[in-house]
Every structure is written in structure tokens, then in C-alpha cells.
Amino acid sequence: MAEYVFFGGKGGVGKTTVASAYALKCARAGLETLVVSTDPAHSTGDVFDQEFGDDPRPVEGIENLQALEIDPESEVQEHLQETKRALGEQLSPSMAGEIDLQIEMAHRTPGAYEAALLDRFIDVMREADCDRVVFDTSPTGSTLRLLSLPDLLEKWIDRLAHKREKSIDYFEMAAIGEQEPRRVREGDPILARLQGRKERFAFAGEALRESAFYLVCTPDELSVRETERSLSTHREYGLSVAGVVINKRTPEPEAHEEGRGARFLREKVATERERVDEMHDSFDAPIVGEIETRVREVKGDLLEEVAAELAVEI
């Protein structure tokens, strides 16, 4: 089983519940497990009735389990400040103002959120001292953009490094005169930083290719269609989906129950069964869990029940 396990899906399908249940399942099996949430609403804390922060904290009452909650907005701001600092060390003070303006504008563009989050994910994957890291990710679109970044950024860094090397070559040729060439490239801080970034993205790409991805959906048409698209997009990125969890299935009423509520539930269950059958027949990833809706928030004993219903490899 992969060291890193990702749970994704559209908003509102119950990714946090399923990811937390799987993390609990791993911990109960004796694996040192870290569950990582990127949900700004801090739902992981709600599941375990405990506050978490940006550093791993033990989950009270559950051996082998830690959790941390990443604040995406804070990560974007930290990423912005780190970029400003790194460039400020290489540029003259006269250029600092203009560079700051350009960086501020860049961090408002699509993809800045994912780039900042990817950096934090890399830190977590490199620093986590445990057997299993379980990621409860953002809604599908944002997560897929994040997963596509390592390969894209690694190629972009290669182009930047090539341009920097050409610039150094021209500088050296112009500076030779009657002197020996100045080997500016050796020890060049910008090339060194670019190489460091490339190594981070290469690590992320390799880690993601070796990760396990599970999609969470609900038995309604919108969720089924989005899950189909997500399966296709994962294939395009060379990432295989290990399984799909169908969450929030409607419990069927007892045979003797009558009345308006019972009729409604039976019709709803029949419709959902059609959707579930469709998923079993058409998805190229196995269904690894069908979780019924609970009457109260899933935590404590209910989380244990959900964990037991997940046929996900430990």
C-alpha cells in the first residue's frame, strides 16, 4: 500500500468523514498515521472533537493517529512572502518595488492557490515521520490542478535554468577581454535555487505517482458525472484511482413501514440503486465502500462504523 493516500471528490460528498475513517482504520491496524486536511472549515477537528493546527497533533484517545489542518489562505500568503524574500536577495533595491508588485499580481492568478498548497504538501510528505499520510483534499477541480503541477513546474524550471545559463554565458563572453573567463555559473545563487526547486517538484511528481487515490461521491447524477470526469482526468495525468467510495446512501425502510415517508424513502433508494449499479458497471475503478447516511454527525462510535465499512487496503 502507498505511503501517501489521497481522498478527493466534489464539495459536500463527505471526503473529510471518509478520509478520517480510513485514517482511523490505519491507526487501529497499528500504523502510525497522519491525516492532513486542507478544508478551511476545519472539519477534521469537528470529526474528532478536537482543535488542530498547522503542526501534527496526536488525536486524543486514538493511539497511532495524528492530524493537522492546513489553512490554504495562510499558505498562499506565506508562499508570497517567501518568494519576495528569495528574489529580494538576488535583486537590487531599485528593482524591489516593481518585483513586489509583479509577485502580488501573480499570486492573484489562477493556480497560485494550488502552487502554494503543493509546496506545503511537499513539506508534509518529506517531513512526516509515520507509516501512512492520508490527505483530505479540496474539491475535485482544485485538487486535479494541484496534481498536475509537479510535471508542469519541473519543465518550467528547466526552461528558466536554461535561460539563466545562456545569460551567464553571454555575460562571461562579454567580460573576458584579455582576462580568463569568469566562471559565474559555478555557485550562481539563482541556478542553485532553481535546481533546489526542481528537486522538490521531482520528488512531488514521484511521490504522487506512487500514491493511492480514492474518489468519494454520492449516489446522485451530478456527483456520478463529476466522478466519471475525475477518473478520466486522473488517467490523463498518469495517476490511477484505486477505488471509489459511495457515501450518503439512503437507508431503506422496513418492509412493514407505510406512509408518505416510507414511500419517499423507497423511491429514493430505488433511484440511488440505479446510480450505484451504473457506477459498478461503468467505472474503471472498483467500488470500495457504500456508506449509509447516519442520523447524526459521524464521529466517535459512528466513525468506527464507517471505518469498518471501508473495503480499502490497509
Q: Active-site residue numbers?
A: 39
Q: Is 209 exposed, middle or buried (0-12, 13-18, 19+ CB in 10 A)?
A: middle
* Cα separations in angstroms, 40 against 53, 139, 313: 11, 12, 28
Residue 269 amino acid letter: V
* CB contact burial 227-253 (16+ within 10 A = b; e otherwise): bbebbebbeeeebebbbbbbbbbbebb
Q: Which of 204, 187, 61 is nearest to 119 (CA)?
A: 204
Q: What does the alpha-carbon distance between residue 184 and residue 187 come to, in Å, rounded to a whole number? A: 7
